[in-house]
Chains A and B, each alone.
Chain A
């Protein structure tokens, strides 16, 4: 066993891990575990044949074990059976023992008196023979051969004695005479005599003979009485012996043998009766236990079933309650709980319905007068040429603000619809390129006013997903309009990609970007990046909140990334088919031309050799080394995302052929201005200070100064000094760490690694951008 248990340790951990996790098994005894873990697993670990055999043996046992674990009724009945069996056995032994003792006691007493009587008779006969027998014998023999006569006489006398003594017994006992062991009296006629065909040598134990020799009193013992003539089977018996003197005064041994046949018969009868009774008791107890447990278990099972149905939504399910016992109380309590539950759910549903109803009513009540006002304002507005300038301007303001009011009302109602859970998804397969085209063409007028070009990349192949076109269009319109609005006249890039089970649209701008922590806050209601900032297009502040809700409704993600002065990227990821959980996005959240990535690239270019290692680091680190505070990415709160798990392999092999060494400065009108490269030195005056890219050591001092002056946050300076924009983390919850190390190449995040794989795997990096442009 020690070997087995020693071997069981690896066996348990290695062979069947799925069984060890099973919580129910914790209840099983240590023995069972030792047996299974040790004998069945550990002991046979090395041999596949044995293991196979064991598996084969265990397989039929598994359902039984499972039944045992799951069925409390079986457990209780089995336990009851075992325990009652034990009790019955114990009782049986006690009873049988007592009966036997009683029987034997009586027998022994009777036997003792019988034997005492016999011994007395033997003594008397010896005495009488001694007084008158001498004459008899001498007269009888008449010879001088005294010895021979005596022997013959004694011998005959003994035979007579045995016969006469045993004749009183008639099978109830037998008599044996033996010579004392001390003297060799064989020759003097003390040969053994036995009545009833008893084999004296086997029936009289040697130890008893010695004890008889030793004392003068009666000695008794239990023995087996063996018969010589095959008269019957050997029988248990009681033997009582005593040393008695013959007529000559010589001692001999006289034994009474009492067979215990009758007692044994009685005892076996009692045993049989007890066994039968015990069996009945055990079986009956088992049956009783089964019945009793059934009484308890049936309602419990019913409760379990009804609880399951309740949780499945059938709130009107109730238990049947009969009587007033504990089970009935359980049922009542259960029903009360179910009723309260139903009531609460009903109330909540009613509330929700009321809320929806309220929203609907408010919407109607507000909208009808608003329509009148709107129409009146438009009529006035159209006629404003006839008014004096003040009234005309007022008419314009009235019309403009009515527009704004309308949008705000519409957004508010939309949001409250989401809050009430009344938003419904009408998903059907749509080509996102169509949506993007519509959105872009819709945003063109605004873009023209801003001097922005909107470019679309990744639209060579269909990007189809099951989605609600209306909602997706609303989301994208929002993102594109925002990007144009905050893009400061620089280009806006709309990227499309599909991979795995997901499609994504990312909108990249090179405008003011986002400050640390803002990537999550942009989705808050009525949040504004800069309250003082003049709004030109008059958003309601609810656009991104609604967009986020729309994305959620699709089971998708809407995430933001941005760095101060480096622009931002908003990415919408949707599952390709509705209800499919998202595992990743085809487009990395942090764009390839982010400051950090560019810093890395430059550092690589300088350090050459370390680049490969950095790429590897970035790749398996998935990384997301602690990011800087400056560039900042985070997943949107409450979204069921575990962050960006890395881009899925893109589906468009075309991208693989894009130029790998894309120079971000080649971006038409964007790269060079936004993220100036150290060598280029093309820095706009109003460009973000601290966007130093991979500053060569020599230039760092100056850059630091600039960063310190412009960038209020220390991190900005650190970032600039590091030369590599910090890694940003999208892993899990919003986490923006700090500290990009000075060695930009080594501190590469996985995002950077990905970008560098770009050429071969077609990352959506600068290469793609150029291809699209």
Chain B
């Protein structure tokens, strides 16, 4: 296990002062930041730098953050953390639905940012070989693949983690707070909307009928659990 998670971080932000400050902090923590200030150039920069994580401001000149997020997500499952000045539900949910794994509301503390980046990168640690079943899905944890009747389903790393967390303990009902801690790595409950949105995204990929979920079942008033396999 590495003491520090090193990694390339692409910072997409138009505010040069903030970008520079982010660079200082990230470098201080041992990351390799690269910068792009324009939404239109973000995708090209992403392809060029192949970052391990993207820090994405929602308000950008040119293409806005939501659009950039969607484009990156369309070709990669790389963790995306949104920087947003708006904590309004709509903004956050729109951001998460466009494919971001996590968001952090400005103004944030450097430690908080680093903790979240680490939490997103931690999952690239080597997992033990493990086969799980949930519903009619077969999950190969080490191979990072989910298959239904031999057909593989593409999930982002975060969605995969969420599914694995539920599948590992199919007898347990997970509250949103527990999921936040296990999947996102938050010690303190941040925002359960993260869980709601990602459960919906996950369902839209793995459920036969997202309206009547069978894989990720809602336990009303408590949280979620894995459906019977």
| Chain A residues whose CB sits within 8 angstroms of the CB of B24 once the complex forms | 375, 379
A97–B100 CA distance with the chains assembled, in angstroms: 101
Are the CB atoms of A367 and B107 closer together than 8 Å?
yes
A370–B105 CA distance with the chains assembled, in angstroms: 12
| Chain B residues whose CB sits within 8 angstroms of the CB of A429 once the complex forms | 220-221
A374–B112 CA distance with the chains assembled, in angstroms: 12
Chain A residues 393-442 with CB under 8 Å of chain B are 406, 417, 422, 424, 426, 428-431, 434, 438
| Chain A residues whose CB sits within 8 angstroms of the CB of B62 once the complex forms | none
A429–B222 CA distance with the chains assembled, in angstroms: 8
B132 at the interface (CB under 8 A from A): no
B41 at the interface (CB under 8 A from A): no
| Chain A residues whose CB sits within 8 angstroms of the CB of B59 once the complex forms | 364
Are the CB atoms of A424 and B89 closer together than 8 Å?
yes
From known contacts A368-B106, A369-B17, A470-B191, infer whether A375 and B89 are also in contact, taking CB-CB under 8 Å: no
| Chain B residues whose CB sits within 8 angstroms of the CB of A431 once the complex forms | 221-222
- The residue on B at minimum CB distance from A403 is B109
- The residue on A at minimum CB distance from B25 is A375
From known contacts A368-B15, A370-B106, infer whether A379 and B25 are also in contact, taking CB-CB under 8 Å: yes
Are the CB atoms of B106 and A371 closer together than 8 Å?
yes
A642–B3 CA distance with the chains assembled, in angstroms: 61
A470–B21 CA distance with the chains assembled, in angstroms: 31
Chain B residues 170-194 with CB under 8 Å of chain A are 175, 177, 189, 191-193
- The residue on B at minimum CB distance from A409 is B107
Are the CB atoms of B106 and A378 closer together than 8 Å?
no
| Chain A residues whose CB sits within 8 angstroms of the CB of B22 once the complex forms | 375
Are the CB atoms of A438 and B189 closer together than 8 Å?
yes
Are the CB atoms of B86 and A364 closer together than 8 Å?
yes
B74 at the interface (CB under 8 A from A): no
A565–B15 CA distance with the chains assembled, in angstroms: 52
- The residue on B at minimum CB distance from A362 is B85
A29 at the interface (CB under 8 A from B): no
Among B21, B111, B191, point to the contact of A372 (Cβ < 8 A). B21
A706 at the interface (CB under 8 A from B): no
A424–B111 CA distance with the chains assembled, in angstroms: 30
- The residue on B at minimum CB distance from A414 is B87
A428–B18 CA distance with the chains assembled, in angstroms: 37
- The residue on B at minimum CB distance from A424 is B89
* Shortest beta-carbon distance from B210 to chain A in Å: 18
B4 at the interface (CB under 8 A from A): no
From known contacts A375-B21, A428-B221, infer whether A360 and B88 are also in contact, taking CB-CB under 8 Å: yes
A367–B91 CA distance with the chains assembled, in angstroms: 15
A330 at the interface (CB under 8 A from B): no
- The residue on B at minimum CB distance from A399 is B109
A768–B35 CA distance with the chains assembled, in angstroms: 60
Contact with A along B13-50 (1 / 0, CB 8 A): 00101100110110010000000000000000000000
Are the CB atoms of A360 and B28 closer together than 8 Å?
no
From known contacts A370-B107, A417-B88, A429-B221, infer whether A469 and B21 are also in contact, taking CB-CB under 8 Å: no
From known contacts A429-B220, A429-B221, infer whether A372 and B17 are also in contact, taking CB-CB under 8 Å: yes
* Shortest beta-carbon distance from A496 to chain B in Å: 16
| Chain A residues whose CB sits within 8 angstroms of the CB of B191 once the complex forms | 470
Are the CB atoms of B106 and A367 closer together than 8 Å?
yes
- The residue on A at minimum CB distance from B113 is A375
- The residue on B at minimum CB distance from A426 is B89
Among B18, B86, B91, B220, point to the contact of A371 (Cβ < 8 A). B18
Contact with A along B150-165 (1 / 0, CB 8 A): 0000000000000000
B228 at the interface (CB under 8 A from A): no
- The residue on A at minimum CB distance from B109 is A378
Contact with A along B64-104 (1 / 0, CB 8 A): 00000000000000000001011011110000000000000
Q: Of B59, B105, B107, B110, which is in contact with the most chain A CB atoms at under 10 Å from its CB?
A: B107
A360–B87 CA distance with the chains assembled, in angstroms: 9
Chain B residues 181-229 with CB under 8 Å of chain A are 189, 191-193, 220-222
| Chain A residues whose CB sits within 8 angstroms of the CB of B110 once the complex forms | 374-375, 378-379
Chain A residues 107-158 with CB under 8 Å of chain B are none
A-B contact pairs, 27 of them (CB 8 A): A363-B85, A363-B86, A365-B85, A367-B85, A368-B106, A370-B107, A371-B83, A371-B106, A371-B108, A372-B18, A375-B24, A375-B25, A375-B110, A378-B109, A379-B25, A379-B110, A406-B107, A422-B88, A424-B89, A428-B221, A429-B221, A430-B221, A431-B221, A434-B175, A438-B177, A438-B189, A470-B191
Measuring CB to CB, which residues of chain A are less than 8 angstroms from any residue of chain B?
360, 363-365, 367-376, 378-379, 406, 417, 422, 424, 426, 428-431, 434, 438, 464, 469-470
Inter-chain pairs besides A372-B21, A426-B193, A431-B222, 5 sampled, C-beta below 8 Å: A360-B86, A373-B107, A374-B109, A375-B18, A426-B89
Give 6 nearest A-B pairs by CB, closest first.
A429-B221, A364-B85, A367-B106, A371-B107, A367-B85, A371-B106
